[in-house]
Amino acid sequence: MTFVSDNREAETVSKDGNLRTVIEAGATVGGGSVIAKGVRVGRNAAVCDGAVVTRDVPPFAIVSGNPAAISGYSDAAGRRLTSSEAQRHQKDAVESESTGGRIVHLRKATDLRGSLVVAELGSDLPFVPQRFFIVYDVPSLDVRGEHAHLACEQFLVCVKGSVHAIVDDGSVREEFLLDSANVGLYMPAMTWGTQYAYSSDAVLAVFASLPYDASDYIRSYEAFQREVSQRSSSSRL
- Do 167 and 193 touch, CB atoms closer than 8 A? yes
Q: What backbone phi and psi angles, to 5 degrees, belong to 44?
A: 60, 15
The torsion of the CA quartet 144, 213, 119, 103, rounded to 10 degrees, works out to 50
Helix (H, G, I), strand (E, B) or coil at 59: coil
Of 175, 168, 169, 164, nearest in space to 231 by CA: 169
Active site residue 89: no
Task: Considering the candidates 89, 147, 149, 164, report the single residue annotated as catalytic.
Answer: 147
Rounded to whole angstroms, the Cα distance separating 64 from 72 reads 10
**Is the preceding omega at residue 126 within 30 degrees of 0, hence cis?**
no
Instruction: Provide the CB-side half-sphere exposure for 81 (13 A, CA).
Output: 28
- Do 136 and 206 touch, CB atoms closer than 8 A? no
3-state secondary structure 155-186: EEEEEECCEEEEEECCCCEEEEEECCCCEEEE
Active site residues: 147
